[in-house]
């Protein structure tokens, strides 16, 4: 079996890349491989400060090479996908130029309007590339990089959360429906549409994430103008399983997501989902999921009134067939075999 290094700007935290890297780590261990992590920040085995997004220093290439020489295979998580630290990207390119490596791309710069002018990934060595959706794979192919799609995977039998305790914790009385948007608040998350849907449903809008990228003042203005009750954040001691149990509908009004983990999480927690059809959503829905348009008020109300609706069972079955965590080890085994790691 092999020693595998996983490298990124940050790992072992609560951001999406860290969470998905953890899933790969466990799948690789299931296959018998030894895994260690390297990043600029986070709970990792080796910290190289110059790899962090906002690093105050250049990466120490000699140190990075010394660490990665301990591995038979290096997996690079998003560090060369988004140009958030060019020195870190260039250091990784230099160290891995003649080595077998896998570059996993969660995001690409041309998919974000404010980054569209920046350079995307390169192919400079005996490297394999992985995307989390087919759209990104196609876009890389148009730029001369061959990639494989391995989507994000999920626990399709999650723990049952504490519904009544959660409703009490966020001070929702009676039967008011809770409309959960389990995202951050930034422009592309389209909180405006989530608030508007909650207004039309006569519900309580629950936004889990914080405002980022300077969006705080805009968020406060939107909330003040809204005609719906609003709750924010996850109460102390609560889990995401509790949040999904406490809500009646999950809303994903995002205009762009690299994948959109809450989509499948809503399914596995047996909740109806109202969504905006962002590009990658179309790939997910092609499997046959039953989701709702944001303006389908009658359909959404009917779905919220029946927690045992047949379509919820069908959605779970589709998720298990395509995105279950149990499928990940075999998919990674095929990927590793393609680069000579058995």
**How far is Cα 231 from Cα 204, in angstroms, rounded to an integer?**
7
**How far is Cα 279 from Cα 132, in angstroms, rounded to an integer?**
13
pLDDT value of position 295: 98
**How far is Cα 135 from Cα 257, in angstroms, rounded to an integer?**
11
Phi, psi of 64 (to 5 degrees): -60, -45
pLDDT value of position 181: 98
pLDDT averaged over consecutive 10-residue blocks of the chain (342 residues)?
96 92 98 98 97 94 97 97 93 96 96 84 95 97 97 98 96 94 95 98 97 94 96 96 98 96 98 97 97 98 96 99 98 96 74
pLDDT value of position 263: 98
Go through the domains of the chain in sequence order and give each one's CATH number.
Answer: 3-153+325-338 (3.40.50.2000), 163-322 (3.40.50.2000)
**How far is Cα 2 from Cα 341, in angstroms, rounded to an integer?**
7
pLDDT value of position 286: 98
pLDDT value of position 123: 94
pLDDT value of position 287: 98
pLDDT value of position 342: 67
CB 102 within 8 A of CB 335: yes
pLDDT value of position 310: 97
> Coil, helix or strand for 188?
helix
């Amino acid at each position: 079996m092999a020693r595998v290094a996983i490298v990124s700007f940050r790992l072992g935290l609560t951001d999406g890349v860290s969470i998905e890297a953890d899933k790969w780590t466990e799948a690789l261990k299931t296959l018998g491989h030894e895994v260690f992590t390297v990043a600029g920040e986070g709970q990792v085995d080796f910290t190289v400060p110059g790899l962090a997004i906002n690093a105050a220093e250049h990466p120490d290439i000699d140190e990075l090479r010394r660490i990665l020489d301990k591995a038979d295979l290096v997996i690079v998580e998003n560090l060369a996908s988004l140009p958030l630290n060019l020195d870190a990207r260039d250091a990784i390119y230099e160290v891995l130029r003649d080595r077998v490596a896998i570059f996993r791309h969660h995001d690409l710069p041309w998919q974000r309007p404010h980054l569209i002018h920046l350079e995307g990934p390169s192919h400079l060595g005996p490297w394999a590339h992985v995307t989390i959706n087919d759209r990104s794979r196609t876009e890389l192919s148009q730029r001369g990089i061959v990639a494989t799609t391995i989507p994000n995977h999920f626990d399709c039998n999650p723990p049952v959360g504490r519904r009544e305790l959660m409703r009490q914790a966020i001070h929702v009385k009676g039967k008011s429906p809770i409309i959960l948007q389990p995202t951050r608040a930034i422009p592309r998350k389209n909180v405006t549409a989530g608030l508007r849907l909650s207004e039309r449903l006569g519900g309580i809008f629950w936004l889990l994430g914080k405002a980022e990228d300077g969006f705080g003042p805009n968020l406060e203005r939107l909330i003040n103008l809204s005609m719906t009750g609003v709750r924010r954040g996850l109460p102390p001691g609560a889990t995401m399983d509790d949040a999904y149990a406490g809500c009646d509908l999950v809303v994903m009004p995002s205009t762009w997501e690299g994948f959109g983990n809450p989509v499948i999480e809503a399914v596995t927690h047996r909740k109806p989902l109202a969504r905006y059809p962002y590009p990658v959503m179309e790939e997910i829905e092609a499997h046959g999921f039953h989701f709702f348009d944001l303006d389908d008020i009658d359909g959404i109300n009917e779905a919220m009134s029946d927690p045992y609706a047949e379509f919820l069972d069908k959605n779970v079955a589709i998720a298990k067939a395509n995105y279950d965590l149990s499928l990940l080890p075999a998919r990674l085994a095929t990927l590793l075999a393609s680069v000579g790691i058995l």
